[in-house]
Structure 1
Amino acid sequence: MRSRLTFTLSAWLIGVVAVSVLAMGSFTSWHLSQGFTAYLQARDSERFDKFVALVEQRLAVGPSALQGEKAAPDMRDLLREFALAEGLIPLGSKPPQGRPSHEAPPGAPNPRPPPPGAGEGFGSRVALALPDGRSWAGPPISLEETGVVERPVKVAGETVALARLRPLTQAADALEAQFLTQQFAGIAGVAAGLFLLALVSAMWLARQWIRPLVAVQDATARIARGELSVRVPNARSDEIGDVMRNVNAMAASLQNIEGARRRWMADLSHELRTPLTVLRGEIEALVDGVRPMTTKAMVSLQEDTLRLGALVDDLHLLAMADLQPLPCRFEDTDASEIVQGVLRRHALAATDAGLTLNWANGHPPSAPLHGDPRRIEQVLNNLVQNSLRYTDAPGQITVDLKSTPECIQIIVEDSAPGLEPQDMSRIFEPLYRADSARSRHNGGSGLGLAISAAIVHAHGGLISAHPSPLGGLRIEVDLPTQPTLLK
């Protein structure tokens, strides 16, 4: 996984960065080229206007301004003067050696700048033409060429010539070409540097992301093998950290479930072994003749069998409750009448145990409820029997009933002894007993509260345990008056 996922993430990151860098470099190069060309064209236009003004000045002062085609001006002198005026060549520089600039070769017109193919300097792209369009001075430039700019040359308000400028198609001189080359090289260098940085960053980021995922993979593989104590070291606060924390929470939950399963099996075997041992001992005594076969002996065997059958029924009930909600027969009933019946049934047992069992706030009014009266009565019987079994004498047990149109609340609380806070949330687990005064020697299988919780859940209600102001345990049962049936 490590090599495959690292390679995939690195390749994607590098690919995205490479495409981005290439796109940005291409756009920057194109934009620079276009912008530089526009700058050169604007500079050309400005120079061309100045050159036209210079030609007008020179033709205005010379007697040959209106003498026709043979009196064409010397373009080299004009361009040299224009270059000196623009600062393109230093002042005091000498003209090229050879034939004087004002002389033309025998049988030829006035000297002209280099032909168009000799370069793309300003002088090679500017020319003068007569008003009728015929070439007059400089290289022949036709208006049919793309992008040619034409300006009239006027003397005393009359157009005596036409100045034409061929557009620039590339850098005009070596310095400008060198400038563009340097810019393109710089862009290419930055792109290469970014690509290398992306390569290193992609590998580093991929490893940073993959390392915790590999740890999660190793941990989940060990958990699948049954090593539920495995935990993933986690110091991240992002989504990967959430995954690692969830894996740790899952492992802890599975560890708790496995521990509960093992305790359940141990407790279950103990609970079944005790009555079976007693029953087997009595039967062996009867078989060996140690104990006579009397009606009393048979009654004792019957009671042991009934207790064992009740325990098995309770275990089966809890097992079914884990698979699906307990089957209940819902009907309209009165919770107040159910509570009164439970109190009457246990009044004598409470008196014999040295306890008082009564209402907390007097006889409650009617409390209509849609539920299974037999199951609700079973819940109250379990709660009251739990208090009778674990409350020290002299003590008291109180039952309270509160009713609203939406909910019925039944509260059963007793006096000392109480439970430790860590035991409050676990007393509804099957076969759970706290290691305090509420222990096995007081009797009971440890299934009553678990069964009560399953019944309350089947009614869509809640059951919870809290410390009682009386010094013992307070159990609250909240039942909706119109429960939504669980599926």
Structure 2
Amino acid sequence: MVDYVNSKEIQALAPTIAKLSQIYQQENSWRVMENKHQGFHQLISKQLEGSAFSPRPINPMPRYNDFHERPPIGAPIEKNNRLHGNETRRIPPPPKENMALYALLNNEGDIVAGRYIESIDYSKTPIKIDTKTIGYLAVSKRKHLTEGYEVDFLEQQRSYLWLIAMLSMGLVALITFPLSRHVVEPIKLIAKGMHKLTQGEYQQSIDLKRKDELGELSRDYNELALTLSENDKARKRWLANISHELRTPVAILRGELEAMLDDVRPITKSNIASAADEVKHLQHLIDDLSLLTSTDIGGMRYRKQNENLTAVLTSELDKYDSYLSNAGITLTRDITTKNIITFIDKTRLFQLLENIINNCIKYSHATEFKLSLTYKNANNMAILTLEDNGNGVDKKHMPHLFEYLYRVDDSRNRSMGGSGLGLSICHNIVMAHQGDIKAEISSLGGLAIIIQLPAT
């Protein structure tokens, strides 16, 4: 507002600038205006009369003669390059607050008339004849407003601004408090739940019933809690299974050896053979665990190359046919004639098939086994399905079939010689081929193992 008032004052003096230009043209100099302070002030006053910028009267500048009257010691001397000899001029007291000062300067910046104090900031408007600058009209800049309609306007605006600020603060408070509660409360619940997760409390969920980002975060949190809970159960089940699998052969072996040492059983070749069988079973279990560990840490080596999966399975089926026939199981084939090129390790693939076929022979009591190979063009995948018409598996067990040492039978009967690690090894082999393996109910009535391998 102060800058606006200063610019408006200069605009109001535009006719005065034109008048001064005419005065200069009379003698082609400022001689007629030199030291005519009162006349210059009257010229300004007449132009600004009746406006908000009307100046107060200015007393003539007092003069002092070097021989008769000297200025007080230390009094500032006003700049006037036109004084000669011993003539000096003392600067009057500073102007009253917010009172404008006006001065006429020549084109070199020397004062011609009016009042010019170097310590005060002035707006200098050039006075021109055609394109030539002949002088400047200097108007002191106001630093602040003390009177006039601008001050009233500012006071009114200040009142309005305070009112608007208070209303805005009230409105912000009414909006932000419910909004912050709407946002902060779910975050507190999730933070509290995360703290419980760090303490091992996985059996929990957060139901925010929201459709925004916090609702998605709560759903992800619930998935995380469920995954951690399942992993924790699998870990405990793994520890229980491995301890059971290792304890059983060790306990039998120890019992037989102690019986022979205590002469309860004679030390015969047959009794030692029985103990050796337990050692073999223990060794087989340890070998399977070592193999699984190798696959988990990437230690199992694969020699992959592009193979025609259709041709590989066709050439291998005769071996599986005779193997299944010896167990009283009929092999049914349903292999596409399309050449499906896959990047695989044939040795590991045969190991995978043998584990699944062995499980079928030992545990399913099936009479029919079907091997199918199809090609899914939508995602460029080879689908290998192995299914039987045996006893099958309840749906509740299917998600756990590929876990280490998982068995469907609660009795954990080892009479068949299984370690419960065959399907876990199959899972790791498929994962190493960037594929997917899952168990479903077979169309034949038993269990179906579905394997997907990427085709090239």
Report the TM-score when normalising by structure 2. Answer: 0.59
Q: How far apart, CA to CA, are the structure 2 residues paired with 1:303 and 1:336?
A: 40
Across the aligned residues of Structure 1 and Structure 2, the Cα RMSD in angstroms comes to: 5.0
CA drift at 1:451: 0.3
- String of CA shifts for 1:126-174, please: whole Å, max 9, x gaps: xxxxxxxxxxxxxxxx9x999xxxxxxxxxxxxxxxxxxxxxx9x9x99
Q: 1:398 aligns with which of 370, 386, 389?
A: 370
Greater relative CO, 1 or 2 (CA 8 Å, sep 6+): 1
SS at match of 1:425: helix
1:185-204 maps to which residues of 2 (within 5 A)? 185-198=159-172, 201-202=175-176
Pick closer, same or farther for the CA change 1:373–1:176 going to 2, 3 Å: closer
CA drift at 1:200: 5.9
Please say if residues 417 and 437 of structure 1, whose CA atoms lie closer than 8 Å, have aligned partners that are also in contact.
Answer: no
The residue type paired with residue 396 of structure 1 is E
1:479 is the counterpart of 2:453: yes
Pick closer, same or farther for the CA change 1:297–1:337 going to 2, 3 Å: farther
SS at match of 1:359: strand
The residue type paired with residue 190 of structure 2 is V
1:77-476 maps to which residues of 2 (within 5 A)? 181-198=155-172, 201-202=175-176, 205-324=179-298, 326-331=300-305, 335=309, 339=313, 343-345=317-319, 347=321, 350-351=324-325, 353-360=327-334, 370-393=343-366, 395-402=367-374, 408-434=382-408, 444-476=418-450
CA drift at 1:474: 1.9
Please say if residues 433 and 453 of structure 2, whose CA atoms lie closer than 8 Å, have aligned partners that are also in contact.
Answer: yes
- String of CA shifts for 1:220-254, please: whole Å, max 9, x gaps: 22221222224345244333443333333222221
1:60 aligned partner? none
Q: How far apart, CA to CA, are the structure 2 residues paired with 1:299 and 1:344?
A: 35
Identity in percent = 31
2:23 aligned partner? none
The residue type paired with residue 416 of structure 1 is G
CA drift at 1:353: 4.1
- String of CA shifts for 1:417-441, please: whole Å, max 9, x gaps: 2333443333222222346999877
SS at match of 1:416: coil
Pick closer, same or farther for the CA change 1:288–1:374 going to 2, 3 Å: farther
CA drift at 1:379: 0.4
- String of CA shifts for 1:84-142, please: whole Å, max 9, x gaps: xxxxxxxxxxxxxxxxxxxxxxxxxxxxxxxx89x9868998xxxxxxxxxxxxxxxx9
Pick closer, same or farther for the CA change 1:294–1:470 going to 2, 3 Å: same
SS at match of 1:471: coil
The residue type paired with residue 357 of structure 2 is V
- Count residues in correspondence: 349
Please say if residues 335 and 366 of structure 1, whose CA atoms lie closer than 8 Å, have aligned partners that are also in contact.
Answer: yes
Structure 1 residues without counterparts, runs of 5 or longer: 1-29, 39-43, 45-115, 126-141, 147-168, 483-487
Please say if residues 343 and 358 of structure 1, whose CA atoms lie closer than 8 Å, have aligned partners that are also in contact.
Answer: no
2:34 aligned partner? none
SS at match of 2:419: coil
The residue type paired with residue 380 of structure 1 is L
Pick closer, same or farther for the CA change 1:438–1:423 going to 2, 3 Å: farther
SS at match of 2:450: strand
Report the TM-score when normalising by structure 1. Answer: 0.56
2:38 aligned partner? none
CA drift at 1:462: 2.3
Please say if residues 325 and 457 of structure 1, whose CA atoms lie closer than 8 Å, have aligned partners that are also in contact.
Answer: no
2:35 aligned partner? none
Pick closer, same or farther for the CA change 1:287–1:190 going to 2, 3 Å: same
CA drift at 1:368: 6.3
Q: How far apart, CA to CA, are the structure 2 residues paired with 1:330 and 1:456?
A: 13
Please say if residues 373 and 383 of structure 2, whose CA atoms lie closer than 8 Å, have aligned partners that are also in contact.
Answer: yes
Pick closer, same or farther for the CA change 1:277–1:336 going to 2, 3 Å: farther
The residue type paired with residue 198 of structure 1 is V
More helix by share: 1
SS at match of 2:418: coil
Structure 2 residues without counterparts, runs of 5 or longer: 13-44, 55-101, 105-113, 115-122, 124-141
Please say if residues 335 and 374 of structure 2, whose CA atoms lie closer than 8 Å, have aligned partners that are also in contact.
Answer: no
CA drift at 1:468: 1.8
Please say if residues 405 and 421 of structure 2, whose CA atoms lie closer than 8 Å, have aligned partners that are also in contact.
Answer: yes
The residue type paired with residue 433 of structure 1 is R
